Amino acid sequence: MRALMISVAFVALSAAASADPLPSWTDGASKDAIISFVETVTDPASGDYVPPDARVAVFDNDGTLWAEQPVYFQFFFALDQLRARAAADPSILKSDVLRAAAKGDLETVMAGGTAALVEVVMASHADITVADFETEVQKWIATAKNPKTGQPLTQMTYQPMLELLGYLRDEDFSTWIVTGGGINFVRAIAGDAYGIPPYQVVGSMVDTEYRVIDGVGQIMQLPDIAFIDDKGGKPVGIARQIGLRPVLAFGNSDGDFEMLEYTTSGKGPSLGLILHHTDAEREFAYDRESHIGKLDRGLDESASKGWIIVDMARDWDVVWSGN
């Protein structure tokens, strides 16, 4: 009888463990808030019930779904592309910024701020079809490693966030990436990395035009910025592409502030979350003074706006999907 009781207890515990939708999250206030919100808005008997076609959840990418230090991963791709292009045609290195980038002099490039980053991206991303560009991204990401940690970039997605995406989709949410990164770069990796189809990516865009090349209609990327999906651009991108105000938004920096504000200032239930990078041992620790992923205003105003600060060191049992 005692053996039978132990067996039944074990089965019960196993069932309870398997029912946990967020097993890599530490039990606590952040996890409880997420689960409580999802259970409330998906319960038809709840006064805060949200029908499935309105369950829109939006996520920043860099620093929210995967790492962003020491610099955005798309920039590493841009550097590699620029070097390859310069090897074939050195005349494309028309400025000190581009010459520094081709040499791997990140200090000089970063000193030029956003304008320098855009210059490198434009020189490395233009005059290529979208289809060929996405193929290059997929080839690159398959072997790329973080120069600071040595980890493959494909293993630097966050396991707790992958669980959250899956949990939301199981509860009939649509999950969208709303990123300051290039839309075609993120579309090329989003399916394999997050299970998110390309049409559910909102991002910054270069100008494009339609051309017929060897009898095939193609979309060509041009060397001009069409739209920056960052800060106040994020709600604009959401309105243009999604057409619905989200009910859940998750970011990690002040670049996501307006996206969370737009999500949580509408009528009806909503949840805003900010990932605070506090874990120097397992990942990186940074916030107010960081040159990448600066989080200042979000820390100051999150409490008054009812947003949840997710503390990586405290709230995550596991960080990397590659563990």
The answer to whether residue 84 sits within a structural domain is no
Domain, as residue range, for 213: 22-70+129-315
Nearest C-alpha neighbor of 315 from the set 22, 18, 21, 31: 31
The answer to whether residue 301 sits within a structural domain is yes
The answer to whether residue 107 sits within a structural domain is no
Nearest C-alpha neighbor of 67 from the set 143, 166, 124, 150: 150
Q: Is the pLDDT of residue 298 over 70?
A: yes
The answer to whether residue 209 sits within a structural domain is yes
Q: How many domains does the chain have?
A: 1
pLDDT score at 322 = 81
pLDDT band at 3 (very low <50, low <70, confident <90, very high): very low
Query: What SS3 class is residue 104?
Result: coil
pLDDT digits (tens, 9 = 90+) for 237-272: 999 999 999 999 999 999 999 999 999 999 999 999
- Token output for 120: 């490198």
pLDDT score at 89 = 94
CA distance 254 to 159: 23
Query: What SS3 class is residue 193?
Result: helix
What's the pTM?
0.93
pLDDT score at 8 = 39
In what order do the strands lie in the sheet containing 271-276? 128-129, 216-227, 201-213, 174-182, 56-59, 248-251, 271-276, 308-311
CATH number, domain with residue 174: 3.40.50.1000
The answer to whether residue 174 sits within a structural domain is yes
Average pLDDT over residues 75-104: 95
Strand partners, 276: 311
The answer to whether residue 249 sits within a structural domain is yes
The answer to whether residue 34 sits within a structural domain is yes
Indicate if the alpha-carbon torsion angle 155, 161, 164, 170 is positive or negative. negative
pLDDT digits (tens, 9 = 90+) for 162-195: 999 999 999 999 999 999 999 999 999 999 999 9
- Token output for 61: 């990418």
